[in-house]
Amino acid sequence: MGLFGSIFGSKNHSRNKIFTFNVDEELECSENFDRIMDQFFEQTGETEVSELTDVKARALYFISTTHYQVMNGGVIQFVDNSSGDYFEEIYQTLDNLSLTIYKEILTEVRNNFPNKSIPTDMSERRDLIDKINDQAEIDDKEDELDLFWDELDTKYYDNSKTLYCKVVEYIAG
């Protein structure tokens, strides 16, 4: 069994924590992704993202937050919930991991917000989403808006294997 570990962290980490993740070369990307996420949550517990100074740990936080929100309730849930507070950092993380298709999804979301900007404040973001929904209702374009979100969800789900493999590659690299 080709087992190897990737250890990262630094003495400057706010909790002086070394994060250790094991990737099994014989497992499929999705199985390794789940394994890495389990290990990540076991090691970080209730750690706030602001306490994660390690680049890879922050990347895992942002990827996991995005992934689990989208898988639970779609792209709109990711944007609407507190995970949307980190929209720009998540966008940059996707770019850093060469997750182009996911970056495209977030670009489409951003381009459909006023001023092509996603507020970091959840209340402000929710107010904008409500206004977008209200305007769609007024313009009788609710079906188009629903289709927009559905297409983004489908694009996300259809490319999950890419996400899993890129994250595993990033951790193992």
Q: What's the CA dihedral at 127, 82, 23, 163 to 10 degrees?
A: 0
Residue 5 pairs in a beta bridge with: 22
Structure tokens, 4: 């190897």
Q: What's residue 6's pLDDT? A: 36
Over 90: is that where the pLDDT of 171 sits?
Answer: no
**Is 152:108 a contact under the CB 8 Å cutoff?**
yes
What does the pLDDT read at residue 50? 86
Q: How much is the pLDDT for 49?
A: 86
H or E segment at 133?
Answer: helix 122-138
Q: Which two tokens stand for residue 131?
A: 């206004």
Q: Minimal CA–CA distance to 120: which of 93, 153, 91?
A: 91
Residue located via tokens 């709109």: 76
Mean pLDDT of 27-38: 91
**Mean pLDDT value across residues 157-169:** 94
Q: How many CB atoms lie within 10 A of CB 21?
A: 22
Do 162 and 170 contact (CB within 8 A), yes or no? no
Q: In this structure, are residues 32 and 7 in contact, taking their beta carbons and an 8 Å threshold?
A: no
Q: Tell whether the model's pLDDT for residue 17 goes beyond 80.
A: no
Q: Which residue has the higher pLDDT, 138 or 19?
A: 138
Cα–Cα distance measured from residue 100 to residue 30, given in angstroms and rounded to the nearest whole number = 18
pLDDT tier at 12 (50, 70, 90 boundaries)? Answer: very low
SS3 category, 11: coil
pLDDT-derived band at 8 (thresholds 50, 70, 90) equals very low
| pLDDT single digits (tens) 107-131 | 999 999 989 999 999 999 999 999 9
**Which string of b and e fits 48-66 if b means at least 16 CB within 10 Å?**
eeeebebebbbbbbbbbbb
At residue 18, the pLDDT reads 57
Q: Which domain holds residue 125?
A: 3-172
Strand partners, 111: none
Taking the C-alpha atoms of residue 147 and residue 85, their distance in angstroms, rounded to an integer, is 24
Question: What's the pLDDT at 7?
Answer: 33
Element (H, E) at 8: strand 3-9
Residues 60-93 have pLDDT tens digits of 999 999 999 999 999 999 999 999 999 999 999 9
Domain count, the chain: 1
